[in-house]
Chains A and B, each alone.
Chain A
Amino acid sequence: MSGRDLAGRTAVVTGAGGGIGRALAVALAGAGADVVAVGRRTEPLEETCAAAEAAGGRARPAPADVTRPGAFAAVVDALPRLGVLVAAAGAVVRRPALELTEEEWDAVVDVNLKAAFFCAQAAARRMTGGGSIVTVTSLTQAVGIPTLAAYGASKGGLAALTAALATEWAPLGIRVNALAPGRIRTPMTARLLADPVVGGSVLERIPLGRPGEPDELAGAVLFLASSASSYVTGQTIAVDGGWLASGGVRG
């Protein structure tokens, strides 16, 4: 991947305040994109932008709650042009399905599925010269994990949404693909991976033998965001250390 492959392109990243979203924003900025970092709170976004600048790129914070479609649309409508959207905002609730409340269900589905759609819609309306939209799905789009019913449902829905939008917006020159991270070391997974029993059990089922780091998603997102993938749309790229290929069997 050439270092300045995205030079001159504007890339909006949601969920950019931490974890995977932050790593993707920094990667895009490092590849030359003008990054607009979206998240609810300003302070983490500023940290992301500082990291982007440290990587030699440009980024600015744009605080907005993605679950309010109008708030996100206002961010993209203010941009002179838009080439890339990476919808990385995500929420998780771990709760046995028998105990899951309507509020918890809505909280997860609102961020992971509804917000992803309205962010993609607002972005696509601005992508008059074509563009690339990358959604962030999950292993749970393909396999089940107990206590993650709402999360799995939202990510499965997001995978279907990705395929639907890819076909609908292909004539507009807008490509839509999904990045499916496996076990990645982020604040969202820190507790799980740190648990001596559960964490060990999770790790020994990854063929590459370790969790991924957020910056290991950089290559895939740069590929999907750039013209390197100009004939790729509607696809999911799993970045999971081999998890899905093995079904989590110990090597």
Chain B
Amino acid sequence: MSRLAGKVALVTGAGRGIGRATATRLAAEGAAVALVARRTEDTAALAAELAAVGGKALALAADVTDESAVEDAVARTVAELGGLDILVTCAAAPGASGPAEETSLEQWRSLVDTDLTGVFLACRAAARPMLTSRSGRIVNLASFHVVATYPQRAAYVAAKAGVVGLTQALAVEWGGRGITVNAVAPGPIRTERTSWFIRQDTGAAAGMTGRTPTGRIGEPEEVADVIAFLAGDDARHVTGQTIVVDGGWTRNAWWGSHPFPG
């Protein structure tokens, strides 16, 4: 599969979960991939794995809330991999922040910094080479919580809704200059971050599966499939959109073990 042969992608949050699956998928399609994470333990191992199967990957340490670190990561990607065609922003802080009335300003700022400002910084940095080449694909990770929310994650939901707004704004502003900007909004996905919850034998975990029409939690690779579509030429006329990847969760209003009313 070489749909993305010759392309260069930068993936933030690439060490784990959806970011890791996305980087792996883009590499499998032929892209050279810059793997950005705060620490390089996971991404260096992933880069080695990808190189072992003929891929080209570069592990870069950067905190997405650090403006100059993000600029440096993009500059090194362009210098070492030969350009930048695709940006996927997967870096995000854990969502649960406790009761809204007890959320501290520090918690709020920290979450919005990572989940929203970090996306802006990456988009801005990546857009410069893309605008020069008049060609680019940006995919931002939102969340199904922009459609329907859980309690006790107000900052996360607000930040992710901000990502959807940012996606629309950038799509409109850069559309005429060759860059498409879209978002993917995953539902419950099996990742390191959710595994503790999914493993628990609780009603909540069963309820999460039970209300999903497909009857199961999604896999990171299933989100990566949609990101790969948006990152490729097949999606060249799609921009400003948010695609929900949730097994139908947010479109279902009836679930559980009780029978449907006849």
Contacts and interface: CB of A to CB of B under 8 A. Distances in A.
B151 A197 contact: no
Contacts of A41: none
A246 B262 contact: no
Interface of A: 94-96, 139-140, 143-147, 191-192, 195, 197-198, 201, 244-251
15 contacts: A96-B260, A96-B262, A139-B253, A143-B250, A143-B251, A144-B251, A145-B254, A147-B261, A192-B261, A198-B259, A198-B261, A201-B256, A246-B151, A247-B147, A251-B151
Given A247-B148, A248-B253, 16 more contacts: A94-B260, A94-B262, A96-B260, A144-B252, A145-B253, A147-B260, A147-B261, A191-B261, A198-B258, A201-B258, A246-B151, A247-B147, A247-B249, A248-B148, A249-B149, A251-B151
Interface of B: 147-151, 207, 211, 248-254, 256, 258-262
A145 B211 CA distance: 11
A244 B148 contact: yes
A96 B260 CA distance: 9
A247 B145 CA distance: 9
Q: Which of A195, A244, A247 has the most CB of B within 10 A?
A: A247
A191 B211 CA distance: 23
Nearest to A200: B258
Contacts of A144: 248, 251-254
Contacts of B151: 246, 249, 251
Contacts of A251: 151
A200 to B, nearest CB: 9
B149 A247 contact: yes
A154 to B, nearest CB: 16
B260 A245 contact: no
Contacts of B211: 248
Given A94-B261, A195-B261, A198-B261, A146 B254 contact: yes
Nearest to B249: A247
Contacts of B253: 139-140, 143-145, 248
Nearest to A248: B253
Nearest to A195: B261
A244 B262 CA distance: 24
A97 to B, nearest CB: 11
A245 B252 CA distance: 13
